[in-house]
Amino acid sequence: MKSYVSFDTLAWYSKYLGLPLSIIGLAMVKIFDCLGSNKRRSALQGKIVVITGASSGIGEALAHVFHEYGSKVVLASRRKSELDRVKDDLMSKKLPTPTEEPVVIELDLADLDHLDAFIQKVYNICGHIDILINNGGVSHRGAILHTKMDVFKQIMCINYFGAVGLTTAVLPKMVERKSGHIVFISSVQGLIAIPDRAAYAASKHAMQAFGDSLYSEMHQHNVSVTVVSPGFVKTAVSLNALTGSGDAHGVMDKNTAAGFSSEYVAMKILDGVVKKEKDIIISQFLPNLAIFFRHFSPSLYFWFMARRATKTA
C-alpha cells in the first residue's frame, strides 16, 4: 500500500513545529503507518474473502485493498467481463509478499434459488470462507407515489434478501469452525430515510436490523459481524439506480460526484474489519448531522425532510 505521508505533511510539521521536530513527526507517522500495515497483513494474509458487487465502485476498491494485504479474494457479480478486468488489474500489481490468485464467479443476487450453489462453488474452490462482504446492490430514485411495486420488490430482493441468502448459506460452516466475519455494506440511508429513496432506504434499514440481530446471535459462536454505513461515495450508484418505472436513472447526482473516493472508503472498511468493529459510519458532516437530528430531534428532522420533498417534487 502507498504511504499516506506526503510532502504536504512534512510542510505542515515544518511550519508549526520547526524542521527538527518536523523530521521527528514525519518519522513517527511512518512508524505508525508501518505498524498499521503490519497489523493489517497479519490479520488478512491468506484469508478467503468473498466480495459481492466486485466489478466496480466500492466492491472493486475492496478487492484491491484486501488483495494487497494478502487475502485470496473471490470476485462476484453479474458482469463476468468486468470481474475479469478487475482480476487482471490485481494480478498486474507488484506486491511485497506473494498473494494467491483471485477467483472470479458470476453471481446474480436476485436469483435467490442459486445463492446456496454459489457458496458451495466457493467452498469447492477455496475450502472455506473467512470473510463474506455483502456489498452488491442497487439504489433507487423516485417518489413512492410514482414507484411500481415491482421496483420495491426488485430492490429489496437484491439488497436485502440477496445478502441474507448468502449469509445464511455461509453461517453453518463458520459456526462449526468457530471463526468467520460477515460484513454488510449498508448506507447512511440504513440509519435515516430521505425523500425519493424509499425502496433503497427500506432495504438498507432491513439490512441494518438483520445485522444487529446477527451480531447478537453470533457472538457466542465467535463469528464477527460488521455493518458499514457509507455516506456519499463517488461511484456509478446514481447512474445505475432504478427509477420508479424500473429504468436506469442515468444521472450522476451532484452529491455523489463530490463524495468520498471508493479507495478511501475501502481502506476504512478494511481497518474496521481488522479491528472487528460492529458499526462503521463513513460519512460527511450533513448526513451525520441528519442522523443526530433523527434520534434527538425527530420533529426538526421531519420538517427538513418535508421541505426537501416539496422542493424536489
Reply yes or no on whether 123 is catalytic: no
For residue 105, give the C-alpha cell: 464467479
Going from the C-alpha of 27 to that of each of 19, 20, 21, 93, 121, the distances in angstroms are: 12, 11, 10, 27, 47
> Residue 176's CB: how many other CB atoms inside 10 A?
11
d(Cα 78, Cα 100) in Å, to the nearest integer? 23
Query: DSSP of 73-127, one letter per residue?
Result: EEEEES-HHHHHHHHHHHHT---SS--PPPEEEE--TT-GGGHHHHHHHHHHHHS
For residue 140, give the C-alpha cell: 433507487
The kind and range of the H/E element at 184 are: strand 181-185
Catalytic one of 200, 215, 264, 301: 200
Q: Which residues are catalytic?
A: 200
